[in-house]
A and B are shown apart, each in its own frame.
Chain A
């Protein structure tokens, strides 16, 4: 079975700065992957590269075995990748329904429609006629995830799911997201380690643009993850001991 997403020695730059320094990763179909890492570790750049918003300097991306490295973002949506970006990026002067319709009209056709998205995210139903600019953080995030979902992707990237949201809003969103497991490949950037370990079937940690850690929540210890998060390498430990 081909992997849903294969990243090979992916390098991404911001001018002179190398934000992603050769990350290789294979993500199986319908896997739930949590990406953690400190601010500036390169998580968002990596998400933007997979979605086609940030140019790939070196390396390649395969989606279900087919190369998408040079494909523009809108074509990748129709190939099956959808990103809910950092900061939500809703169309503030349009209604929630219109925000969802744009992705439905220009994305792939499939089981996800306005009705099924509202079933999966019941908090959206009363908001459909409201302008997206006037919503709370949690509501905006629900719309952003719905907008990614309604394009019927096979791989969903969710950047900074719980950033800036109330605990209750985060709880509600993850309850809804749990219903997607097994239907799509989910890649979630999450700052909350407990949440990430509880939700995902696999966890990777990125520090300074490199893959520091890759494992399952069962096998990784909190200490390992904390060390990886801060870029503390095992090899250095004997010197401290």
Chain B
């Protein structure tokens, strides 16, 4: 039980990094990137290619991948997302679904469908562990990944709250037109936000490649996990995203305790429960609190009055 809890929390760091990019894109650029998971896979397979085919060391491959993914995010915002956003709410969804499909099949063509992992290239780190008092073993890799996730999200939080760039990002996400009246170029802010978001997806992809196997078609599942962490934690707060990721990780770990087959399902169910609770809160707020909403739902006074 305690073992699962710890493993779940450590897994949560990975989900939080995956979700943070999606949340940043939605919160700042108002753009739902349905290819986010596929971009994470691109980061994973890109770093794998650097290590396996180009012979680059793992640390350097991570740096190259993150820089490459940031550049990709900037360029996609500049040349694709900006135009898609100008076309209303449906165009971005269609664009990123298409982009995701193209990425999946493009990666299939480029890298083949074999499952791959970085695990073989990081020495004994993939299985090394520490023993905690009480006979619990924690893997060193999950601990390092969790620490990295907390550091990255913490640094991002400081960037957004303490720097001039961060203030410009927050102003743009609140009211892009008012930000432009302060001399901020909203398009430039959006491009840099997209660069950070896609770099975060790349980092999550590298995490995945280290801890598990990747195929070119792993993206949609990652997108679902990212969405679940964002919804559980609430949009627009990095602390919420971290909590959302941890909740998802813990629930999956505890679910696996019952049966390995319901691990993922348990995550989905908690996501649905949180979503339902949030929707009920909105509905209750519109009807003057949940007591009023409940009595309205039970008695249907509005309907009877209308019929009378």
Contacts and interface: CB of A to CB of B under 8 A. Distances in A.
The answer to whether A and B come from one shared complex is yes
B213 to A, nearest CB: 42
A9 to B, nearest CB: 25
Given A72-B185, A74-B185, A102 B171 contact: yes
A108 B177 CA distance: 18
Contacts of B175: 89, 91
A105 B167 contact: yes
B84 to A, nearest CB: 20
A89 B177 contact: yes
A105 B183 CA distance: 8
A85 B182 CA distance: 11
Nearest to A48: B177
Contacts of B52: none
Contacts of A108: 183
A92 interface: yes
Given A101-B164, A102-B168, A74 B183 contact: yes
Interface in A44-84: 51-53, 72-75, 77-78, 82-83
Given A101-B164, A151-B183, A90 B178 contact: yes
Nearest to A150: B182
A151 B178 CA distance: 13
A94 B164 contact: no
A72 B188 CA distance: 13
A107 B164 contact: no
Nearest to A84: B181
B181 A89 contact: yes
B174 interface: yes
Contacts of A73: 177, 180-181
A107 B170 contact: no
Contacts of B164: 101-102, 105-106
Given A53-B177, A94-B174, A101 B167 contact: yes
The dominant DSSP class at the B interface is: helix
Contacts of B170: 91, 93-94
Given A91-B174, A92-B174, A94-B174, A85 B167 contact: no
A77 B171 contact: no
Interface residues of A, number: 29
B178 A91 contact: yes
Interface in B3-60: none
Nearest to B179: A102
A170 B28 CA distance: 35
Interface string B148-189: 000000000000000010011011001101111111111000
Contacts of A91: 170-171, 174-175, 178-179
A102 B174 contact: no
Interface in A72-124: 72-75, 77-78, 82-83, 85, 89-94, 98, 101-103, 105-108
A92 B175 CA distance: 10
B141 to A, nearest CB: 38
A128 B125 CA distance: 50
B180 A72 contact: yes
Given A105-B168, A106-B168, A82 B181 contact: yes
Nearest to B177: A53
A193 B64 CA distance: 64
A43 interface: no
Contacts of A89: 175, 177-178, 181
Contacts of A148: 181
A75 B175 CA distance: 17
A53 B178 CA distance: 9
A147 interface: yes
B232 to A, nearest CB: 22
Contact of B183 (A53, A93, A106): A106
Contact of B184 (A74, A90, A94): A74
B171 A53 contact: no
A77 B167 contact: no
B180 A107 contact: no
A147 B171 CA distance: 13
Interface of B: 164, 167-168, 170-171, 174-175, 177-186
18 contacts: A53-B180, A74-B180, A74-B183, A77-B182, A83-B181, A85-B178, A89-B177, A90-B178, A92-B174, A93-B174, A94-B174, A101-B164, A102-B164, A103-B182, A106-B168, A106-B183, A147-B182, A151-B183
Interface of A: 51-53, 72-75, 77-78, 82-83, 85, 89-94, 98, 101-103, 105-108, 147-148, 151
Given A72-B185, A147-B182, 18 more contacts: A53-B177, A53-B180, A73-B180, A74-B184, A77-B181, A77-B182, A85-B178, A85-B181, A91-B171, A94-B171, A94-B174, A98-B167, A105-B164, A105-B168, A106-B183, A148-B181, A151-B182, A151-B183
Identify the 8 closest CB pairs spanning chains A and B, nearest first. Answer: A106-B183, A77-B183, A89-B178, A103-B182, A73-B180, A107-B183, A105-B164, A74-B180
